[in-house]
Amino acid sequence: MRTKIKPLSKELQDQLQEEINFKTKPIGALGVLEDIALQIGLIQNTLTPKIKQPAILVFAGDHGIAKTNKVSPYPQEVTQQMVLNFLNGGAAINVFCNQNNINLKVVDTGVNADFDEHPLLTNLKIAKGTQDYSQNKAMTKKQCELALEKGKRLVREIFNNGCNVIGFGEMGIGNTSSASLLMSYFTKTSIEKCVGRGTGLNDEGLNTKISTLKEVYDLHCNDIQSPLDALVAFGGFEIAMMCGAMLEAASLNMTLLIDGFIVTSALLVAHAIAPSILDYCIFCHTSGEQGHEKMLHFLKVSPLLNIGMRLGEGTGCAVAFPLIQASVNFLNNMATFKSANVSEA
């Protein structure tokens, strides 16, 4: 799979840094907001970056492993029920997107249900859930490639409608298991250190989940020769489609807002395909899921927030968004020492 993502041009870096440094404040006094302003300026290749039509995509899909009742205390039907909750405006992501004027799209990548048409829903279903990867690979190579391509096309469409900042969220009972397997493969970390309690497993349930996923990993790991092979073996349709969407967004010089554990597992795949994608990513928070902090350490990145969130849905992106908007705003609107007739140090 070929995806061209250019490393950020550094031509404007010195000018952007000078703009930031000579605002009416001590150098570095706005902390991480200064880093974000510099990053978005470089992504957009301008001294006056703007956030246009920000969007969050919530990719939903079901996982065959969930039917075994070995990895989640919730039944698979909860994926469908939560999608309906998104469409009815009742979920946390609806609240936070409404609060921050973020466009929300819910993407059916492979939910084991059929939905009526709805303004918030985009139907890109590959199949009604993946296969049970304790028995077979999660998907075929053809399904994986289709999911990647559909994710790319979706982002292209959103970009053509004027969006330049895009956040990623997900929903799918069992998807922390896929994320743990992908994390283990790409970071070379033991399953025990990747697996968390997901939607609230007790100690017995956690031990069952760990032993199940160790067996899954051993079943498939010798067949994996590429990042796409890992997606085929362990992924969900929502994770694969997110991966394609991320690659396309970076290739279009969009700013990517990265949520928690499952979204970052999709990014691990995208990063293995195109390492320069990290230049375009803002990591919004550290999830309470135990593997997420290790993922961030592996990628050598720092998140904006660490407030104990572990909901998914893209909620970390939506909650962090005002900080990202503030970074662009101060760069564009704050006076310089010269313009404000304030003496410099």
Kindly list the catalytic residues.
Answer: 313
Task: Tokens for 233, please give them.
Answer: 């073996």
Q: What does the alpha-carbon distance between residue 92 and residue 223 come to, in Å, rounded to a whole number?
A: 39
Judge whether 195 and 291 are in contact, CB under 8 Å: yes
Q: What does the alpha-carbon distance between residue 159 and residue 248 come to, in Å, rounded to a whole number?
A: 10
- CA-closest candidate to residue 147, choices 60, 64, 234, 239: 239
- CA-closest candidate to residue 148, choices 306, 26, 283, 269: 269
- CA-closest candidate to residue 62, choices 41, 83, 87: 83
Q: Which residues contact 13 (CB under 8 A, 6 or more apart)?
A: 38, 42
User: What DSSP letter does each residue of 200-212 carry, written as one string?
Assistant: T--HHHHHHHHHH
Task: Tokens for 130, please give them.
Answer: 């993946």
Q: How far is CA 43 from CA 11, 139, 326, in A?
A: 12, 34, 17
- Residue that is written with structure tokens 């902390």 in the block: 31
Task: Tokens for 312, please give them.
Answer: 């998914």
Q: What does the alpha-carbon distance between residue 87 and residue 85 come to, in Å, rounded to a whole number?
A: 5
